[in-house]
Structure formats: C-alpha cells, structure tokens
A and B are shown apart, each in its own frame.
Chain A
C-alpha cells in the first residue's frame, strides 16, 4: 500500500517538473496575469460591459446596512415584543456590550415565522450624526415559505448630515436576503453573501471594497459574483482607481482595470498584480481595460461605465432611522 502511495506521489512530482510553455492551456493561477492566449468565452465580445460594471457597482452600493436595517425594523413592527421576544442584552453565548438590545424567536405572529436572534445598538449625536450595529443569525418567513428577512453576520454603519450633505460608511459581512429588504426593483433582488465596505458622500465620494456572491438572477443573466476595489480620488471624478471583477456563471472572471491603485514601483504583491505593463494609457478618461481569464482582451473596446449616474444616485439614511428607543419602539405596544 505504501509503495502505491509513493508511485502516486512520484507521478505528481514528475508532472510538476514539466515546464509550462506558452500556449499550454493549463489554466490560470490565482492573482497572476498572463498574456499567452487562452480560450475565451464565446460571448466575450457580445457582453455589454459598460452596463455590467455599472450594475456591479450598484449592487455593492445596495448591499449596505441601511437596506438590512429597514428589514430588521419591519420585522419588529410586525411583532409585539413578545414575538419576536425583545430583550435587553445579548443571547447568553454572545460576548457583547450589555447595553445592546436583541430580539429572538422561535415563534409566529402576524403571518410570519421567526427563528434566530438579532442584536443591535444605535447611537445618535447632537451634531446630526448617527451610528448603529447589527449582528445575528435570524430568518423570518411567511406562511408560504417566502423569506422576508434573513441576516447572518455582522454589520455597522454611520452617517453624518451637514447642511443637507452627507457622508456615509457601511460595513457588512455575512449573508442577507429577503423580500422585506430587496424588492424586484432592488439592485440586489435576491440578496447576497460576502462582504462590503463602502464610504460614500453627497459630493460624489465613493470607495468600495466588496466581494459578493449574488442570490437569484445573475447580472445580465451572466454574472453571479462581483469583486470591487475602487476609489474615486481627488483630481479625477470620471474614473476610479482599482478594478471591478465579474464572475461569469461559467466560472470565468472578467476584470475591468481602471487607473492604477498602486505606484508602479510598489513592490507589494497587490501592486504587482496590477497589469501596468499591459495597460498603456492609465489616464483619467472614464474607461477601464477588460481582462478575461487574466488576459487582456483587445477585441473588446474600453469599458466606460456610467459613473455619473451612480454618483448622482448616491444616498444615505436620514438620522431618524438611527433613533430607536424603548420609549417609542417600532413594535406594537398596546
């Protein structure tokens, strides 16, 4: 038996010694870029990448705590504090600040079945700002089994309103879905799993770091996951630094690189992964360069998403959404 194991191991070692040559279709390596030809998806020059990237950014912007919080409040409005049971503190096995408030099921009321727990905290300052956090693992479904609210993870956000303008930050990691939060007109109708850190402002500031798998219908019927690392920096409102990645339902990644996030001489692995040597004009022109399976696709013209409409549609929750007190609770009291 041991002899057979050695033969198997030896076979693997021999195969790994064979040097790869250009043209070999060995598949890619995570994080590497290559310029040798690889088979590309048949629809590579048919996809509307402008729309796809625009929608990917809209998805990330829609995957904030504001949406999840509205679902959380709606679930409490449907109850009466006994179902789901609202209590001061956190579930016993959670190591959390005792100033938090939680709700927990399992119970049914108002046509909804509650299971799990959610714990939250809110804070509002006198300067027009608010912050809140939400953590838990809960699901609420109607009698037909349609999930109205599902949250499993941790999230927080904060907003500051000054003279009608806002700055907003949201961080969420976990799984979120439900009709109470994401209707058919939502950018994320089926919900998502993954993580999103975003910072936006009414002046067009937009920084997004996201890695999301989308439930439900893929974007353009073609992409089921998105990865974004973009930031609009001073001096260029038309194009961010960073990239937007779209994962095809066939497993291929379609990456659109915008202006470089790192200096060309940055020695870090992250910086070296950026294809400086392939992109010849990384200028602020509103357009990025498409790479499919880590190969620059010359047949596809530059990708120019509608950043203007995205920036114009940025929004933030009003401060009153951060006010949630036991003196005026959302649930039915008497």
Chain B
C-alpha cells in the first residue's frame, strides 16, 4: 500500500493518541507573522513610454470670428457675430483643402450683468448656432456645440476674450476691438493620435 493511501486512511479515524511534534518555535517574529494584507505586487516592470508612444501626426486648429456690438457707441447690450473653426491633420493642400473638421457659427449674445470678471470691459451670454459643417467632428476639446451658451467677456487691457468655465475665467482667444467690433482668433498646433484606417 502506498504512503499516500496510508496517509488518507490515517485522516479518516480519530486523532492518534500521541500527536506528531510540532515545529519548534524559534521565538523570532518572522516565524509566525500574520499578514492578512492584500497588497499589489511590487511593480518591477520598466516604465512604458518611448518615442513609439508619441504620435507623429499634428493637428492644426484655427478658430476665428467677430463680435459686432450694439448699440453703437455703447454701453453694449447686444452681440451678433460669427465663428469659423477649421482643423486639419498634418498638411493642407491649398488647391484642394481637406479639413478634418469645418464648422461655421452664427453667434448672438445678451449682456450678462450677473457675472463679474475682474478687468473685463463687458460680459455676454453667447449662444452658438452651427450654420454649416459639423462641430461634433472637431477634436479640440474646447469646441462649442450647436446651441451651447457660453459666458464670455472681453478684456481690452490684455487684448483677450475670456470664457467662464464653472465660474473660472480662462483666457480663450486673442482679440482686438475697433469701434464696436471685436475680432478674435485662436490658433493651435498639437500632436494627435490618429487611428489608422483598416485596409479592406
């Protein structure tokens, strides 16, 4: 009979009269430690991230437009304007421009007397109406969508348009005011991860 079978038989009955001696306790703390923790193993891997993780494509973003304020001569209470957004990846063929995103907006605005903006000349609630193109295809995260209302301000001392995000004023575009017209622009070139199209 094999030792394994004998052992299994031994388990089936009463405990033996004399127990097998237990291992002696050396008294050191590392013998009978109780470590019930559930810890992540040490990460010995090499931190990922090499040049391969950096995309080689570039996205060029252009956002520009105008605000026409009224009544002429101020104080201004109404705003009408435009916004044009264009995005393209890498190079743009000037003869046959192909944009990754194109959107044209009409803007309307009413004076916002509740918001306070430090050095700003005036604050408007600006509503965006997409009249051409599809703003949802634009990759720049700060692209306004159709009928979105933003609280925006003009700061002549810094030649900026600002946008209130959750009550925080953020510089949004470089701007210049002549008479009752404000022209503004925001340009950005940033790397972008472009999904490769699957070959059919």
Contacts and interface: CB of A to CB of B under 8 A. Distances in A.
Interface string A7-26: 10111011111110000111
A137 B39 contact: no
Interface stretch (A83-91, A182-190, A231-239): A83-91
A7 B7 CA distance: 9
Most chain A C-beta atoms within 10 Å of own C-beta, residue among B29, B192, B194: B29
A13 B3 CA distance: 11
Interface residues of B, number: 57
Interface in B29-79: 29-40, 42-43, 47-51, 53-55, 59
Contacts of B53: 91-92, 104, 117
A327 B186 CA distance: 8
Contacts of A325: 141-142, 165, 170
Interface size class of A (residues with CB under 8 A): 35 or more
B52 to A, nearest CB: 8
B182 to A, nearest CB: 16
A65 interface: no
B47 A139 contact: yes
A105 B50 CA distance: 6
Interface stretch (B8-16, B106-114, B127-135): B8-16
Pairs A-B, 5 closest by C-beta atoms: A89-B193, A251-B33, A116-B49, A87-B191, A10-B7
14 contacts: A10-B4, A39-B32, A88-B192, A89-B55, A92-B193, A101-B141, A106-B51, A137-B47, A174-B40, A193-B40, A251-B29, A326-B142, A327-B171, A327-B172
Given A10-B7, A175-B43, A253-B36, 18 more contacts: A15-B20, A19-B15, A24-B22, A87-B192, A88-B139, A88-B141, A89-B55, A89-B194, A106-B50, A152-B43, A195-B40, A251-B33, A253-B34, A320-B168, A323-B166, A323-B168, A325-B142, A328-B170
Interface of B: 2-4, 6-8, 10-11, 15, 19-20, 22, 25, 27, 29-40, 42-43, 47-51, 53-55, 59, 139-142, 163, 165-168, 170-173, 186, 188, 190-194
